[in-house]
Amino acid sequence: MANRLAYGVVALAVTAMFAVPPAQAGKERIRSAVVAEKPVLVQQRIPQRDRRRDAVDPVPPADLSRVGPPQPNLPSEFIPIPDRWRLIENLGVNERWWDPYNQNTLKADRPLPGTEDYFINLLVLSDTVVEPRRLPTPISPNSSQKPSSNDVFGEGEQLFYLQNLVVSLSFLQGDTAYRPPDIEFRLTPVFNFTRAEVGERGVLRRDPSEGKVRNDVYVGIQEAFFDYHIRNVSRRFDFDSFRIGIQPFSSDFRGFLFQDNQLGFRLFGNRDNNLFQYNLGYFRRLEKDTNSGLNDFGEEIRKDEFFIANLYLQDLPRLGFVSQFTILHNRNDEDSEFFFNKNNFIERPASFGDERLHKYNVTYLGYNGDGRVGRAQLTTSFYYAFGTDSHSQLNGNLVDDDADIRAFFFAAEPSFDFDWLRVRGSFLYASGDSDPFDGKEEGFSAVFENPQFAGGDTSFWIRQGIPLIGGGGVQLTQRNGVLAELRSSKEHGQSNFNNPGIVLLGLGTDFDVTPETRISTNFNHLRFEDTSNLEVLRNQGEIEEEIGWDISAAVIWRPLFIQNIVLRLSGAMLIPGPGFKDLFATSQDGDDEILYSILANGTLTF
């Protein structure tokens, strides 16, 4: 259960060029470091090396402060002068190692001394989270924190702290102005500290003797890859590249199916002046550290792999809209041994149904779209999942115990900008399983979701993991997840297609109150798609579908107008509806305490 509290540092760091919306990818190089699921943009403009030799008329400078290009055929062309970086020093622009806003060798603005096209790029990022919250919390069955603990639901107040220090070091070779580097090595260790305080024993660690506070320190490697620029295929620098190692990857625009930093090999590139982009990838998942969510090298690599092929098409079906077609095949072979997490809770198989080991093959066919439609911005996602689960944990069959997976997912988020105000609507539908005993698994489950949707981690439901108390050692919903997947955890658990599905309808607003202050609000209504599985798991009839209202607001403040210092304070609460009360009412009169989640977050970036 404690892993439910584990903080997922997810999708850390530098978004791969084509894992971000290509609308950005094709333009200036933007390094987006995503820590704590929240993007921090670090812009660095890499100086252009001007080798143009053809004599053309000088273009009138658009920027009057710019140093104009040398005139053709002037004697200075033939006189050795310092390179452009030293040249600029003559103009009084000197490097200060701590200043990322001006030319800085540590930020790959200048080549390494003595070289022309070898660069290093250093990123240091501190991420601090303080998170008070109230969640349904079970009283440990074997020993309690307090006397007179006579029931199942205990003290729900919790406090969570996190400190991450991300250090990312890249070594690049190549002309980095117009095209990806020729070669890049990158290593990103993350130093993590977490502290969790809860109201009951046996929640953070299985052993109630360990009490109700847990401190943990971990160092994980979130990036370690080699990137090689194979070739250019056109004058416009359309290219083919490959990248091998632990790398960030997102299956779609919003992280619905997979968004993580995982071990893989990826061939990618573009064609036709960047109108087409493609990815061909193979990933084999690393085990995660339970409490930090970082990659764990102390464990064997998981027997879980996926192949992905996708194609981005710009301006389809209309100008300004990008369509992406995906096929992802996930093969899980984790049917040979039990796996317990660091806190001694079982993860694989999940403590769910008959708890027998099983494996699955599932293929996701997806369409994703992102872009502009008239005045509106629109993101859409559709997935159809099909495959086979080697053993249904619910249907109880002894012969023909395998199950067909048939599930689908749809999400759309249109938004409209009115000056400094953005209004967005969110709709999400994940199918639920309608009959736990029929040998079909119809609940949609992702590989590793990290949804940036409907308010993302500002929203209570997406931010918090809620244990399915009384229904097994699984989570009703995962931390940083929108699906009600009923899996043991996102970090360690297998996908689970026996789940109630989810339907979300939301309305959100972003107010850019001042250039450095944004206020966001989200109103999401949630319901299960089908509660049959929940009813069986808890041996409880008549669980209603309505989960309730998830209401949240966030203030984001960038005191210096820059992305290097970002402070955020958000608050969310879940006003439970009948279905949620059927599961978690914590009072004698059948009502619920309001569940809340407060998030104070500061990121400092160099």
Cα dist from 335 to 338, 356, 359, 360, 431, whole Å: 8, 8, 5, 9, 25
Least distance to another protein, CB of residue 399, Å:
5
How many beta carbons lie within 10 A of that of residue 221, not counting itself? 18
Exposed e or buried b for every residue in 40-53, given b needs 16+ CB within 10 A?
A: bbbebebbebeeee
Cα dist from 129 to 61, 167, 234, 601, whole Å: 46, 18, 46, 5
Alpha-carbon Rg of the chain, whole angstroms? 26
Does residue number 336 form part of the binding site for another protein (CB under 8 A)?
no
Cβ closest to another protein, residue 554 vs residue 583: 583
Does residue number 589 form part of the binding site for another protein (CB under 8 A)?
yes
| Interface pick for another protein out of 7, 18, 119, 153 (rule CB under 8 A) | 153
Does residue number 440 form part of the binding site for another protein (CB under 8 A)?
no
Identify which range of 49-57, 295-303, 499-507, 540-548 contacts another protein by CB under 8 A. Answer: 540-548
| Interface pick for another protein out of 540, 546, 567, 575 (rule CB under 8 A) | 540
> Residue 279: exposed, middle, or buried by beta-carbon count in 10 A (0-12, 13-18, 19+)?
buried
Least distance to another protein, CB of residue 447, Å:
23
Secondary structure of residue 462 in the 3-state scheme? helix
Q: Which of 70, 172, 62, 165 is nearest to 118 (CA)?
A: 172
Identify which range of 272-280, 382-390, 512-520, 531-539 contacts another protein by CB under 8 A. Answer: 531-539
Q: Which of 309, 251, 306 is nearest to 284 (CA)?
A: 306
Identify which range of 125-133, 139-147, 423-431, 558-566 contacts another protein by CB under 8 A. Answer: 139-147
| Interface pick for another protein out of 107, 370, 582, 597 (rule CB under 8 A) | 582
The pattern of x and - marking residues 177 through 216 that bind another protein according to CB under 8 A reads: ------------------------xx---xxxx-------
Sign of the alpha-carbon torsion through 223, 226, 232, 237: positive
Cβ closest to another protein, residue 73 vs residue 209: 209
| Interface pick for another protein out of 105, 363, 388, 434 (rule CB under 8 A) | 434
| Interface pick for another protein out of 89, 151, 272, 300 (rule CB under 8 A) | 151
Does residue number 346 form part of the binding site for another protein (CB under 8 A)?
yes
Does residue number 438 form part of the binding site for another protein (CB under 8 A)?
no
| Interface pick for another protein out of 48, 71, 102, 143 (rule CB under 8 A) | 143
Give, as ranges, the residues between 472 and 511 that touch another protein (CB under 8 A). 472-474
How many beta carbons lie within 10 A of that of residue 61, not counting itself? 11
- Give me the DSSP letters along 161-178: EEEEEEEEEEEEES--SS
Least distance to another protein, CB of residue 432, Å:
11
Cβ–Cβ < 8 Å for 189, 219: yes
Distance of CA 245 to the CA centre of its chain: 18
Identify which range of 34-42, 102-110, 137-145, 224-232 contacts another protein by CB under 8 A. Answer: 137-145
Does residue number 356 form part of the binding site for another protein (CB under 8 A)?
yes
Does residue number 574 form part of the binding site for another protein (CB under 8 A)?
no
The pattern of x and - marking residues 38 through 57 that bind another protein according to CB under 8 A reads: --------------------
Give, as ranges, the residues between 57 and 116 that touch another protein (CB under 8 A). none
| Interface pick for another protein out of 81, 396, 416, 423 (rule CB under 8 A) | 396
Identify which range of 31-39, 164-172, 324-332, 337-345 contacts another protein by CB under 8 A. Answer: 337-345
Does residue number 416 form part of the binding site for another protein (CB under 8 A)?
no
Identify which range of 90-98, 282-290, 355-363, 490-498 contacts another protein by CB under 8 A. Answer: 355-363
* CB neighbour list of residue 136: distance below 8 Å, 6 or more residues apart: 153, 156, 466, 467, 469, 583, 584, 586, 595
Sign of the alpha-carbon torsion through 435, 437, 439, 444: positive
Q: Which of 234, 232, 222 is nearest to 125 (CA)?
A: 222
Q: Structure tokens of 169?
A: 């070091």
Q: Report how many residues bind another protein under the rule CB under 8 A.
A: 70
Query: Do β-strands 321-332 and 304-313 pair in parallel, antiparallel, or remain unpaired?
Result: antiparallel
Does residue number 247 form part of the binding site for another protein (CB under 8 A)?
no
Does residue number 134 form part of the binding site for another protein (CB under 8 A)?
no
Cβ–Cβ < 8 Å for 309, 256: no
Cβ–Cβ < 8 Å for 179, 239: yes
| Interface pick for another protein out of 149, 388, 390, 564 (rule CB under 8 A) | 149
Helix (H) or strand (E) holding 231: strand 213-232
Residues near another protein, by CB under 8 A = 139-153, 201-202, 206-209, 338, 340, 344-346, 349, 351-357, 393-394, 396, 398-399, 434, 437, 468-474, 530, 532, 535-542, 578, 581-591
